[in-house]
């Protein structure tokens, strides 16, 4: 972990760079993959399953038998844990339902808005180095509440050509319509362009590694919607002397273990805590099965010693972390000053891992600084907001002159005439009735 003491503001941009490869370099690898999928469809998916996932597949589609088999393989305690997480995630996302009342903007002019589900959505479920079945819940539950009709899921097969049973079990639980055994950029291409087995979707959701994220960003330029760039995981921790160094180390490692391109940050006003966390990291990392990955990722880690909490928050808002843990005495007060972050965790007993799995909030979040402009996945991500309006005869008389004036000033006379023709008609009918 690189320690940086009292950095001047002008140096922040350089110190806060992400370890992810430059988008241009990743794009060089991803573009030919997308092109091949567009041209060759399922044949390309089978080719990349062998080339990149070392899986010999005879069929890309997960069969009903495979799902039934998976349901038997998941243990009862895991099913119980999943059921509890499901309830919490459902509760939090149900609370996001919007009740929009019609608004009368002028007498006779009524406007309202309705949330309508996106009919066909695509999920990418990461499975390269760990089977992230929790992501199935994070995407599937809000999609179900929203009422999306068709959910097409893609996830990488393992070397035996199989998908992890817990991924299949949760997919069945949330009502996924079709599961395609394909990972990486090729899966994103399949969802964006469609193949004989993969229906083309209107919006692609889900996190993934740099290849997945770059592919999502590329297909977004070609017309398909995406949730957001949700790439390699990140966590930043703001700690004071009330924080527990062992907890901090555990939280840093929990995101470092995601992959070699994950990044973790510690920001503190307390020099002593840095040394204590460093000691804890050495001890805790040894116990992790993914310690090699975490060790590489921890080389991307930075620790900032800052003068005060004001400066800490400015630095963190500049970084815009995917996850921010505030482990300070006045965590709730400091949280008010957060303007750029995907999801915030307050206090010593709020580990980020709770949000990854079960507290209720969504774990599909913007990385790489995109939290400056994007929100994480929510119920709204699965909806379009359609606006409606109705204008009565009296309403048109009230609003007509305003529109005519503005249209004329924009030199759009057909617009003006769409109003004037009606106003004249109303005048004529009034005259005829007198
Ligand atoms: N931001 C979020 O909300 C969030 C949530 C969960 C996970 N994540 C991130 O998701 C990622 C999961 O990564 P993963 O790799 O385990 O699984 P993954 O499913 O995202 O990627 C695996 C696929 O990547 C492709 N691939 C691997 N090496 C390649 C190469 N050299 N060239 C082209 N394609 C290649 C393969 O096709 C493989 O199937 C992690 O980075 C994790 O931090 C992010
Ligand atoms: N931390 C990840 C989001 O960056 C989500 C996750 C899934 N499983 C474990 N963690
Ligand atoms: Zn995680």
Please write the tens of the pLDDT for every residue from 352-411. 999 999 999 999 999 999 999 999 999 999 999 999 999 999 999 999 999 999 999 999
Report pLDDT for 22.
74
Report pLDDT for 99.
87
**pLDDT above 90 (res 1):** no
Let me know if 322 is a catalytic residue.
yes
C-alpha–C-alpha distance, residues 403 and 102, integer Å: 21
The catalytically annotated residue of 323, 352, 363, 404 is: 323
- ipTM exceeding cut-off 0.90 for this assembly: yes
Residues lining ligand 2, Cβ inside 6 A: 132, 134, 233, 255, 322, 356, 363
Rg (CA), the chain: 26
Report pLDDT for 349.
98
Strands 263-268 and 203-205: unpaired
Report pLDDT for 227.
98
Can you tell me whether residue 267 is helix, strand or coil?
strand
Encoded tokens for 67: 């799902």
C-alpha–C-alpha distance, residues 20 and 230, integer Å: 12
Q: Is 58 exposed, middle or buried (0-12, 13-18, 19+ CB in 10 A)?
A: exposed
Q: Could you tell which of 134, 209, 256 is best to mutate to test the pocket of ligand 1, judged by most ligand atoms within 8 Å of the CB?
A: 209
Neighbours of 4 (CB within 10 A): 14
Q: Could you tell which of 211, 256, 370 is best to mutate to test the pocket of ligand 1, judged by most ligand atoms within 8 Å of the CB?
A: 211
| Binding site feature residues | 124, 186, 209, 233, 255, 258, 323, 356, 410, 415
Band of pLDDT at residue 222, cut at 50, 70 and 90 = very high
Ligand 1 pocket member 189 (CB < 6 A):
no
The mean pLDDT value for 256-268 works out to 96
Atom of ligand 1 nearest to the CA of 231: 1
Number of residues that make up the chain: 434
The catalytically annotated residue of 280, 322, 352, 404 is: 322
Band of pLDDT at residue 136, cut at 50, 70 and 90 = very high
Can you tell me whether residue 383 is helix, strand or coil?
strand
Residue with the smallest CA separation from ligand 2 atom 10 is 356
Report pLDDT for 20.
75
Global confidence as pTM: 0.96
The mean pLDDT value for 52-68 works out to 97
- Compute the distance from residue 342 Cα to the ligand 2 centre, in Å: 12
C-alpha dist (Å) from residue 9 to 35, 163, 188, 237, 326? 43, 47, 39, 19, 21
- Compute the distance from residue 113 Cα to the ligand 3 centre, in Å: 36
DSSP string, 327-371: ESTTHHHHHTT--S-SEEEESTT--HHHHHHTSSS------TTGG
**pLDDT above 80 (res 418):** yes
The answer for residues whose C-beta is within 8 angstroms of residue 59's C-beta and 6 or more apart is 181
C-alpha–C-alpha distance, residues 214 and 323, integer Å: 21
C-alpha–C-alpha distance, residues 112 and 306, integer Å: 49
């Amino acid at each position: 972990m690189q320690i940086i003491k009292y950095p001047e503001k002008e140096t922040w941009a350089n110190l806060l760079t992400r370890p992810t490869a430059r988008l241009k370099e990743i794009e060089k690898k991803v573009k030919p993959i997308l092109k091949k999928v567009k041209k060759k469809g399922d044949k390309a998916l089978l080719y990349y399953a062998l080339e990149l996932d070392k899986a010999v597949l005879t069929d890309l589609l997960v069969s009903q038998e495979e799902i039934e088999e998976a349901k038997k393989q998941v243990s009862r305690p895991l099913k119980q844990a999943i059921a509890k997480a499901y309830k919490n995630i459902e509760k939090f996302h149900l609370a996001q339902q919007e009740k929009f009342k019609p608004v009368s903007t002028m007498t006779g002019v009524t406007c309202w808005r309705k949330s309508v589900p996106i009919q066909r959505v695509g999920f990418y479920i990461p499975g390269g180095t760990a089977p992230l079945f929790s992501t199935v819940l994070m995407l599937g539950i809000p999609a179900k509440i929203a009422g999306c009709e068709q959910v097409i899921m893609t996830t990488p097969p393992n070397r035996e050509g199989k998908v992890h049973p817990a991924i299949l079990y949760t997919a069945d639980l949330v009502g996924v319509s079709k599961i395609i055994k394909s990972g990486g950029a090729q899966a994103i291409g399949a969802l964006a362009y469609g193949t004989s087995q993969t229906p083309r979707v209107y919006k692609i959701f889900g996190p993934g590694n740099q290849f997945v994220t770059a592919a999502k960003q590329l297909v977004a330029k070609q017309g398909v919607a995406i949730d957001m760039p949700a790439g390699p995981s990140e966590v930043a921790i703001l700690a004071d002397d009330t924080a527990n160094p062992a907890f901090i180390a555990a939280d840093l490692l929990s995101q470092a273990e995601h992959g070699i391109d994950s990044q973790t940050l510690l920001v503190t006003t307390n020099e002593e805590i840095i040394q204590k966390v460093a000691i804890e990291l050495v001890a805790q990392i040894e116990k992790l099965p993914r310690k090699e990955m975490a060790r590489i990722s921890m080389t991307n880690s930075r620790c900032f010693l800052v003068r005060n909490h004001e400066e800490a928050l400015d630095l963190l808002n500049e970084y815009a972390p995917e996850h921010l843990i505030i482990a300070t005495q006045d965590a709730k007060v400091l949280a008010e000053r957060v303007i750029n972050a995907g999801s915030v965790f307050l206090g010593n007993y709020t580990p980020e891992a709770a949000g990854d799995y079960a507290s209720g909030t969504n774990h599909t979040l913007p990385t790489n600084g995109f939290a400056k402009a994007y929100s994480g996945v929510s119920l709204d991500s699965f909806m379009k907001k359609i606006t409606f309006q109705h204008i009565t005869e009296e309403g048109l008389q009230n609003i007509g002159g305003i529109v005519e004036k503005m249209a004329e000033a924009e030199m759009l006379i057909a617009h003006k005439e769409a109003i004037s023709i009606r106003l004249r008609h109303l005048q004529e009918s009034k005259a005829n009735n007198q």
